[in-house]
């Protein structure tokens, strides 16, 4: 729970070292800018500025890096909404409804929604963090393969609802993606499906493949259109509409709260993180919404669900890093490196001995989230001018940007080649009504599903009774079943009501 | 059962399924060639088989009976068939082809030349007829990307001219 | 991280370096007699944030000061360092490309299991300061307190404990060598395979697996969540209070874990001995500099000087043992 003495110290620390605050705005701007460039990951942005922090004091250094983290977390949503490009796997679910909204001329609203749900997500995750940082350290390491497998299956349930018109086509896309996700060396050291290409040992490069399936395929399909938004009147950039979207998200408190909780919990699991949490949150929102059918066609709730979850994952990952000294992903690994550069070793002893610093980090993250509101607003305002660029310029340019982004990931042509191959596959899938989103979800989850299924099998020796030894897994399973039956039940009730209403009229 | 109307084959759809099917089958065989132990096949084998079954279920949808005139409603029930004109399709083909060439050869050619050429061609095919605007935009955008991305990534771009 | 930023960082550190570079670089013709006359690239065959990346970035400013030229770190991760190693060999052997890598186990693994287009003799180790070791550990909650208990349970029933391990690793080779020496049925061991050292350690600390074998240095942050049971080395390491493999079984063979540090092209040593000598001296002096030792030790990075002879010998010894047990490295 909260230690108020330490909290007071933290305020003193932050108010006396005012220099720490100087770095928040530059950090946010750097993060927004890098995060919105496809292929530049949060990790890369932070790693680039890591050497600079060597010359700063500890607190300013950490505040600068976490500001980049916060900014970049939102930055990725901008290309996702405007161009269907998920620059990172945590922005995948944002594309599902954000991009359709843009094409309907609701880009202002979508960006406003994304910004406010991101900010609220970040804020609530850090509030939660204040309370859960200690219990988290006890629970996170207990997450074994069975628990993670159940979480992955929960994510896979999304495939069913992404299927669209034809269930077999949807499932085919999903299983195809899942298989793609298992290419390369598996957890037990077997090498499959690499066709002798060395870089496929690490699997199909996820981000280029996603950009190809979702973004490049779309762009190729749009070659014969003139503008992203057909109706000229809707092509306006309006601060008012952005603000409207901004306010709109406050109407969906349950979705945001659920997204934030999913984000914090999933985000705190090392190696899973925000790439899964946004999918889970989206899937839950879709299943529980009365207008679930319109998800994927530009429903604001989809954007809110995805953004609140991926931004709150940041808080979860920070909890694990602070409490255990282990990185949940690349970004927290960089933060730990920054700790080490200042002779501070993360981990249980760090929290116990430096509660004031921990609280100072948390408080400064509140401030970052609030400042992100203002800076992000300006950023999305200018970014949305992209909808006014004629398609004849936009298509080749964005294709090239995606190509540069895919090259930037590791500096070899593996990225561009993957991007081009999946652009063609994606284009053909879109043309014949296969849900590419299902393939992307499969691709992201493939490795997680296989690795954890395999480890569960190895630990248990194939004995199903093993599940009984894992109360955590049973609990997650129970949650899943309850969640599914509740939404099925409420759907049934809604149907009956509608039926009754129709009968009466 | 109405026997009237001809069967129309969606050749493109058929080709897509052929590609997916070949890829899945080849993957399954490759995995089985690597090792038959459970540690290797635990997910890949059942998933591949499931995918192939799903594929066989979808396959008949490539062959659609064109309803005789006056039966339009029936047709609407089927998933929409794509309908571009041949010229529109050709445009997509040109941009796609150029994009593939760019992706495969940009390292060899040099990013500057390759990207600039792709932009000029792409913008032209997509409908810009003002060459000055096209070339100016392509040049500026290429330079912007190369210096912009070049400044923030930890490896150099292979360049030919710049 | 980026070449440009790195140079800027260097500028702050060794102001004269850039100026010297700027003056020297136009005279490409005289490059031969005044090595180094332009910035030097350091190839790290892993992504940013890992041990080698951190080592290279922490060591580079000091080395740069001695060489009088900026050092650019180039990350070429992927495929278990295979891509980065190949890329390094493709660079000219003129002393303007150094390699900072986990030579063991990755070079032998590339060659033995991935059909690498190179041999180990194409790499010359200048110094491998970081030598990890396999550690067998368990969670504080597991109830297991000694290695003797583990051994007797495994002897009785090799399937009785779940063992967290990375496939195709030195740790796996060590486990199997130990099993053979102690008469434990290696086929019956219940192996649970993880992707990477971090997840393996987390599983051990969280009591998800009964025991785990994984590089010991990475366990330091988790020290109070685990019980160290056995170290695969002939001397105590990092202050762990546990038995050594040599105490458990006098004739057990073992391989050391990751051996990380600095390498150059072998052809550089043969063709340009003067340039090689410059690099060697610079790395040796930098490694022994007290300021460097303090800075790197603080960041939990190794800077001991073993020199080329010891480093190359130890790498080749590890490679030889791995080759003997090649079947272990191809999937479990």
Eight-state DSSP code of residue C130: E
Spatial distance between the Cα atoms of B22 and A409, rounded to a whole number of angstroms: 29
B155–C contact, CB cutoff 8 A = yes
Which chain A residue shows the shortest CA-CA distance from C188? A461
CB-nearest to A416 from B42, B88, B106 is B106
pLDDT at A114 over 50: yes
pTM of the model: 0.81
C76–B contact, CB cutoff 8 A = yes
Q: Chain C partners of A52 at a C-beta cutoff of 8 Å?
A: 5, 9
Range with the largest mean pLDDT of A116-120, A343-347, C105-109: A116-120
The model's pLDDT over A486-502, given as tens digits with 9 standing for 90+, comes to: 877 877 777 777 776 66
Retrieve residue C269's tokens: 């040593």
The model's pLDDT over B104-148, given as tens digits with 9 standing for 90+, comes to: 998 889 989 999 999 999 999 988 889 999 999 999 999 998 888
Spatial distance between the Cα atoms of A414 and A183, rounded to a whole number of angstroms: 15
B38–C contact, CB cutoff 8 A = no
Which chain C residue shows the shortest CA-CA distance from B40? C331
Q: Chain B partners of C332 at a C-beta cutoff of 8 Å?
A: 39
User: Helix A253-267 and helix A274-288: axis angle, to 10°?
Assistant: 150
Domain map of chain A by residue range? 4-490
Pairing of strands B7-9, A191-192: unpaired
Which of B43, B113, B128, B148 has the most A C-beta neighbours within 10 Å, making it the best mutation to test the interface with A? Answer: B43
Least confident range of A34-38, A273-277, A337-341, B105-109:
A337-341
CATH of domain C134-248: 3.40.190.10
Size of the A and C interface in Cβ pairs below 8 Å: 143
CB atoms within 10 A of CB B127: 16
Quick check: C164 and C229 in contact, CB under 8 A?
A: no
User: What's the whole-number average pLDDT of chain C?
Assistant: 80
Domain map of chain C by residue range? 3-131+258-329, 134-248
Q: Chain B partners of C331 at a C-beta cutoff of 8 Å?
A: 34-35, 37, 39-40
Quick check: B68 and B5 in contact, CB under 8 A?
A: yes
User: What's the whole-number average pLDDT of chain B?
Assistant: 84
CA nearest neighbour of C53 among C256, C301, C311, C257: C301
Quick check: A287 and A251 in contact, CB under 8 A?
A: no
- Nearest CA distance, A80 vs chain B (angstrom): 19
Eight-state DSSP code of residue B79: P
Q: Is A421 exposed, middle or buried (0-12, 13-18, 19+ CB in 10 A)?
A: middle
Say which residues have a Cβ less than 8 Å from residue A222's Cβ, sequence separation at least 6.
A228, A391, A395
Query: C3-131+258-329: which CATH topology?
Result: D-Maltodextrin-Binding Protein; domain 2 (3.40.190)
pLDDT at B160 over 90: no
Which chain B residue shows the shortest CA-CA distance from A176? B51
> Is pLDDT larger for residue B14 or for residue A158?
B14
What's the pLDDT band for A225 if we cut at 50, 70, 90? confident
User: Helix C307-324 and helix C170-182: axis angle, to 10°?
Assistant: 60
Share above pLDDT 70 across residues of chain A, in percent, rounded to a whole number: 92
Q: Chain B partners of A431 at a C-beta cutoff of 8 Å?
A: 12, 82
Spatial distance between the Cα atoms of A360 and A61, rounded to a whole number of angstroms: 13
CB-nearest to B154 from C75, C193, C332 is C75
pLDDT at C219 over 80: yes
Written as one string, the DSSP assignment of A428-489 is HHHHTT--HHHHHHHHHHHHHHHHHHHHHHHHHTT-GGGGGG-HHHHHHHHHHHHHHHHHHH
Retrieve residue C233's tokens: 């080395």
Subunits in contact with chain A (3 or more CB pairs closer than 8 Å): B, C
CB atoms within 10 A of CB A492: 10
Q: Is C290 exposed, middle or buried (0-12, 13-18, 19+ CB in 10 A)?
A: exposed
Quick check: C165 and C212 in contact, CB under 8 A?
A: yes
User: What's the whole-number average pLDDT of chain A?
Assistant: 83
- Nearest CA distance, B62 vs chain C (angstrom): 39
Asked whether this chain's domains C3-131+258-329 and C134-248 adopt the same fold, the reply is: yes
The torsion angles phi and psi of A273, rounded to 5 degrees, stand at 65, -155
- Nearest CA distance, A454 vs chain C (angstrom): 8
- Nearest CA distance, B92 vs chain A (angstrom): 6
- pLDDT for res C228: 93
The model's pLDDT over A26-53, given as tens digits with 9 standing for 90+, comes to: 899 988 888 888 777 777 778 778 767 7
Spatial distance between the Cα atoms of C180 and C321, rounded to a whole number of angstroms: 14
C188–B contact, CB cutoff 8 A = no
pLDDT at B20 over 80: yes
The model's pLDDT over C115-144, given as tens digits with 9 standing for 90+, comes to: 788 888 889 898 888 888 899 999 999 889
Q: Chain C partners of B39 at a C-beta cutoff of 8 Å?
A: 193, 331-332
What's the pLDDT band for C84 if we cut at 50, 70, 90? confident
CB-nearest to C2 from B34, B35, B152 is B152
pLDDT at C310 over 60: yes
Subunit contact A341:C299, Cβ cutoff 8 A: yes
Subunit contact A224:B92, Cβ cutoff 8 A: yes
Subunit contact C168:A189, Cβ cutoff 8 A: yes
pLDDT at C25 over 60: no
- pLDDT for res B26: 95
Spatial distance between the Cα atoms of C101 and C260, rounded to a whole number of angstroms: 6
Least confident range of A263-267, B98-102, B123-127:
A263-267
Which chain C residue shows the shortest CA-CA distance from B157? C3
The torsion angles phi and psi of A137, rounded to 5 degrees, stand at -60, -30
- pLDDT for res A433: 86
Quick check: A81 and A103 in contact, CB under 8 A?
A: no
The model's pLDDT over A414-452, given as tens digits with 9 standing for 90+, comes to: 889 999 999 999 999 988 888 888 898 888 888 889 998
Retrieve residue A126's tokens: 């850090």
Least confident range of A2-6, A125-129, C299-303:
A2-6
Which chain B residue shows the shortest CA-CA distance from A208? B103
CA nearest neighbour of A233 among A105, A420, A378: A105
């Amino acid at each position: 729970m909260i230690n108020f003495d330490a909290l007071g110290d933290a305020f003193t620390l932050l108010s006396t070292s005012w220099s720490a605050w100087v770095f928040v705005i530059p950090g946010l701007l750097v993060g927004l800018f890098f995060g919105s460039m496809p292929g530049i990951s949060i990790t890369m942005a932070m790693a680039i500025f890591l050497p600079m922090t060597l010359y700063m004091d500890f607190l300013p250094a950490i505040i600068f890096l976490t500001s980049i983290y916060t900014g970049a977390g939102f930055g990725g949503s901008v290309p996702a909404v405007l161009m269907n490009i998920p620059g990172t796997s945590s922005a995948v679910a944002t594309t599902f409804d954000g991009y359709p909204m843009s094409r309907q001329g609701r880009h202002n609203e979508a960006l406003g929604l994304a910004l406010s749900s991101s900010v609220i997500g970040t804020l609530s995750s850090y509030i939660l963090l204040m309370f859960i940082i200690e219990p988290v350290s006890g629970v996170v390491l207990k997450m074994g393969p069975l628990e993670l497998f159940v979480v992955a299956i929960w994510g896979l349930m999304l495939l069913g609802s992404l299927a669209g018109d034809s269930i077999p086509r949807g499932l085919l896309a999903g299983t195809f993606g899942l298989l793609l996700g298992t290419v390369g060396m598996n957890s037990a050291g077997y090498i499959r499906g690499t066709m002798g290409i060395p870089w496929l040992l690490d699997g199909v490069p996820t981000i280029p493949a996603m950009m190809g399936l979702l973004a490049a395929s779309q762009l190729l399909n749009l070659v014969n259109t003139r503008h992203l938004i057909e109706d000229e009147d809707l092509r306006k950039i309006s601060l008012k509409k952005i603000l409207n979207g901004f306010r709109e998200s406050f109407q969906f408190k349950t979705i945001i709260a659920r997204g934030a909780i999913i984000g914090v919990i999933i985000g705190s699991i090392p190696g899973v993180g925000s790439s899964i949490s946004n999918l889970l949150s989206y899937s839950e929102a879709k299943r529980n919404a009365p207008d679930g059918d319109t998800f994927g066609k530009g429903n604001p709730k989809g954007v809110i669900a995805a953004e609140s979850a991926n931004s709150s994952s940041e808080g979860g990952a920070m909890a694990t890093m602070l409490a255990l000294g282990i990185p949940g992903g690349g970004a927290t690994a960089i933060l730990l490196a920054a700790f080490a550069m200042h002779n501070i070793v993360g981990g249980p002893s760090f929290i116990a001995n430096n509660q004031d610093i921990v609280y100072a980090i948390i408080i400064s993250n509140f401030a970052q989230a609030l400042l992100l509101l203002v800076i992000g607003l300006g950023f999305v305002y200018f970014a949305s001018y992209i909808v006014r660029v004629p398609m004849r310029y936009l298509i080749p340019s964005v294709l090239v940007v995606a190509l540069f982004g895919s090259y930037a990931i590791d500096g070899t042509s593996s990225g561009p080649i993957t991007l081009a191959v999946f652009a063609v596959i994606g284009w053909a899938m879109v043309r014949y009504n296969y849900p590419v989103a299902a393939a992307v979800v499969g691709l992201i989850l493939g490795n997680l599903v296989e690795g954890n299924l395999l480890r569960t099998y190895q630990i248990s020796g194939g004995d199903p009774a093993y599940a009984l030894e894992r109360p955590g897994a049973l609990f997650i399973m129970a949650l899943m079943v309850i969640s599914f039956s509740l939404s099925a039940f409420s759907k049934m009730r809604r149907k009956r009501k509608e039926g009754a209403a129709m009968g009466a009229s | 059962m109405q026997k009237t109307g001809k069967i129309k084959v969606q050749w493109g759809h058929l080709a897509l399924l052929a590609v997916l099917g070949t890829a899945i089958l080849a993957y399954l065989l490759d995995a089985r060639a690597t090792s038959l132990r459970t540690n290797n096949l635990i997910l890949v084998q059942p998933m591949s088989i499931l995918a192939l079954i799903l594929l066989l279920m979808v396959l008949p949808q490539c062959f659609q009976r064109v309803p005789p005139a006056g039966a339009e409603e029936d047709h609407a029930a089927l998933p929409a068939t794509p309908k571009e004109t041949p010229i529109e399709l050709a445009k997509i083909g040109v941009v796609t082809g150029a994009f593939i060439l760019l992706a495969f050869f940009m390292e060899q050619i040099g990013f500057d030349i390759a990207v600039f050429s792709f932009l000029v061609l792409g913008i032209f095919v997509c409908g810009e007829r003002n060459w000055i605007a096209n070339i100016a935009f392509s040049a500026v955008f290429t330079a912007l990307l190369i210096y912009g991305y070049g400044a923030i990534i930890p490896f150099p771009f292979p360049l030919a001219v710049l | 991280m980026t070449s440009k930023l790195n140079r800027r960082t260097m500028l702050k550190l060794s102001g004269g370096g850039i100026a010297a570079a700027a003056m020297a670089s136009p005279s490409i013709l005289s490059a031969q007699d005044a090595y180094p006359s332009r910035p030097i690239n350091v190839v790290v065959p892993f992504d940013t944030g890992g041990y080698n990346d951190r080592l290279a970035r922490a060591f580079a400013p000091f080395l740069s000061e001695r060489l009088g030229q900026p050092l650019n770190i180039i990350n070429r991760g992927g495929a278990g360092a295979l891509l980065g190693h190949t890329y390094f060999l493709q660079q000219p052997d003129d002393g303007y490309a150094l390699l900072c890598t986990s030579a063991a186990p990755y070079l032998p693994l590339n060659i033995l299991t991935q059909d690498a287009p190179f041999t180990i003799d194409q790499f010359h180790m200048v110094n491998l300061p970081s030598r990890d070791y396999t550690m067998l550990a368990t969670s504080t909650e597991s109830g297991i307190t000694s290695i003797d208990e583990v051994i007797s349970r495994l002897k009785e029933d090799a399937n009785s404990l779940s063992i967290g391990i990375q496939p195709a690793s030195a740790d796996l080779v060590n486990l199997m060598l130990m099993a053979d020496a102690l008469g434990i049925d290696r086929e019956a061991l219940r192996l649970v395979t993880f992707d990477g050292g971090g997840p393996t350690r987390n599983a051990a600390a969280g009591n998800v697996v009964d025991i785990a074998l994984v590089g010991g240095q990475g366990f330091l942050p988790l020290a109070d969540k685990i019980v160290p049971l056995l170290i695969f080395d002939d001397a105590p390491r990092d202050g762990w209070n546990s038995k050594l493999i040599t105490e458990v079984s006098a004739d057990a063979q073992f391989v050391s874990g990751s051996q990380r540090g600095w390498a150059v092209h072998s052809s550089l040593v043969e063709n340009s001995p003067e340039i090689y000598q410059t690099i060697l001296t610079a790395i040796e002096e930098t490694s022994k500099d007290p300021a460097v030792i303090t800075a790197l030790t603080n960041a939990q990075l190794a800077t001991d000087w073993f020199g080329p002879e010891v480093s190359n010998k130890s790498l080749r010894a590890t490679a030889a043992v791995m080759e003997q047990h090649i079947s272990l490295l191809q999937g479990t």
